[in-house]
Amino acid sequence: MAGTKNLLNAHNQIRQLTRVAAAVSFTTIFAGSFLQMPALAREHAGSPHAASAKISEGSPMETKKSTPVQHTVRTVSGIISYTEQGSGPVALFVHGVLLNGHLWRHQLADLSDIRRCIAVDLLAHGDTEIAPDQDVSVTANAKMLKEFLDALHIDQVDLVGNDSGGGISQIFAALYPERVRSLTLTDCDTHDNWPPEAFKPFLAMAAGGGLRGTLESMLANKGVYRSPQALGPAYEHPDQLSDESIETYLRPFLRSQQRLRDLERFLAAFDNKHTLAIEDRLKTLQAPTLIVWGTDDVYFDVKWAHWLGDNIPGARRRVELQGARIFFTEERWQEFDKELRSHWQLAKQAAH
């Protein structure tokens, strides 16, 4: 009887994991399967990896004269790491949770002929260094962006955000509208969908101490990262994401115990009170706004693109990329960059 009960329990767990993997985003998939990461790592050992058309390769960098340069700048919130490329009006790119400025490498390379493109590493991410007691909430990150621009003597930016970075961008734009020349939002946390219900198990996993083991498993075998049980559903073609990109995203979190703790605090601070607090001001935002959304994003439903378009007065255009997923900024950078060029040109014309 005990053996039968155990088998039934195991079967129920597998069915639950399957439903989670089919219904929610990469973060929730982690939450449902992180305890199985060592087994997944063994399963994917020696698995083939696509050698062509990797997302981190074949970028337009080869044809551009400028090269990306990494810098740091000291602010009240910490020593902020950022990468920049190009010259001209500044475009500021804001990534989301578990990533860093590397997300925007194609934009920096491709758009550097018309913009000074800057990709910042948020608090608790990438190479940014902060004090152990530094506030890492999304509102704190929005305030950090202001400090960051002040430190670099930048008055206005074309602001671009993705994932939780899109939520941070909304908060920044609402708090400091005079600093936003134009706004572009891609699949991101919006309104009271922060954190979404499907994200809460992942937060519970991190709060329970499982984050280090999950990160270590994905770094030990990159096939785990690309698997359906992990970040695979965040990409149309997860096999094309290079090992180097996975290292760039995840390795910084394990450099020290404090860096891991900072990420845990970042996750623990997720609360829709931050977006609800600025909603009235967001509804007065006149900055020309572009909304680009992937229709196959299992995490951020297209309805949130409609919500943003209906509630931001400056919204000029809403674009749906058929079949795209949350990180289309990497996979479909050509389509996205074309929209950015057009958006920035129209915003410039409207300002004159």
Strand partners of residue 290 = 184, 317
* pLDDT of the residue at 45: 53
List the alpha helices (DSSP H) in 24-163.
26-33, 37-43, 105-111, 138-151
Q: Is the pLDDT of residue 273 over 90?
A: yes
55 contacts: CB under 8 Å, gap ≥ 6 = 235, 237, 240, 241, 242, 245, 330, 331
Q: Tell whether the model's pLDDT for residue 279 goes beyond 80.
A: yes
Closest alpha carbon to 19 in 7, 28, 8? 28
**How confident is residue 60, by pLDDT bands cut at 50, 70 and 90?**
low
Distance, in Å, from the CA atom of 256 to the CA atom of 57, rounded to the nearest integer, reads 29
pLDDT given at position 10: 42
Q: Label residue 250 exposed, middle or buried (CB < 10 Å: 0-12, 13-18, 19+).
A: buried
- Longest alpha-carbon distance in the chain: 78
Determine the topology of domain 69-194+271-352 in CATH: Rossmann fold (3.40.50)
Cβ partners under 8 Å of residue 334, min gap 6: 110
pLDDT of 3 reads: 43
pLDDT of residue 27: 41
| Residue 131 to residue 258: CA distance in whole angstroms | 9
pLDDT at 55 over 80: no
pLDDT grade, residue 195 (50/70/90)?
confident
**Tokens matching residue 268:** 């623990």
* pLDDT, mean of residues 245-265: 97
Greater confidence (140 vs 299) lies with: 140
Residue 38 main-chain phi, psi, to 5 deg: -60, -40
Q: In terms of pLDDT, which residue wins out, 239 or 6?
A: 239
Whether a cis peptide bond, with omega within 30° of 0, leads into 48 is no
What's the mean pLDDT in 215-235? 90
SS3 273: helix
Nearest to 102 by CA among 171, 165, 31: 165
Q: Is pLDDT above 90 for 11?
A: no
Range of lowest pLDDT (22-31, 52-61, 122-131, 292-301):
22-31
Check pLDDT > 50 for residue 259: yes
Average pLDDT, the chain: 86
pLDDT at 6 over 70: no
* Local structure of 323: helix, strand or coil: coil
Mean pLDDT of 1-25: 39
Q: What pLDDT, on a 0 to 100 scale, did the predictor assign at position 74? A: 98
From CA 259, how far away is CA 246, in angstroms rounded?
17
Those residues whose C-beta lies under 8 Å from the C-beta of residue 9, and which sit 6 or more positions away, are none
Q: Does the structure show a pLDDT above 80 at 48? A: no
Contact between 74 and 47 under an 8 Å Cβ cutoff? The reply is: no
Angle between helices 200-207 and 257-268 (to 10 degrees): 140
**For residue range 67-121, what is the model confidence (pLDDT) as tens digits?**
999 999 999 999 999 999 999 999 999 999 999 999 999 999 999 999 999 999 9
Amino acid at site 110: D
Of 91-105, 167-181, 197-211, 311-325, give the lowest mean pLDDT range. 197-211
Omega of the bond leading into 195 within 30 degrees of 0 (cis): yes
Q: Where in the chain is the domain with CATH 3.40.50.1820?
A: 69-194+271-352
CB atoms within 10 A of CB 120: 27
Which SS3 state, helix, strand or coil, does residue 143 take? helix
Q: What is the pLDDT of residue 50?
A: 36
| Residue 288 identity (one-letter amino acid) | P
Q: What does the pLDDT look like over 104-115, one tens digit per residue?
A: 999 999 999 999
Cβ pair 268, 183 in contact under 8 A: no
pLDDT digits (tens, 9 = 90+) for 141-167: 999 999 999 999 999 999 999 999 999
- For residue 204, the model assigns a pLDDT of 82
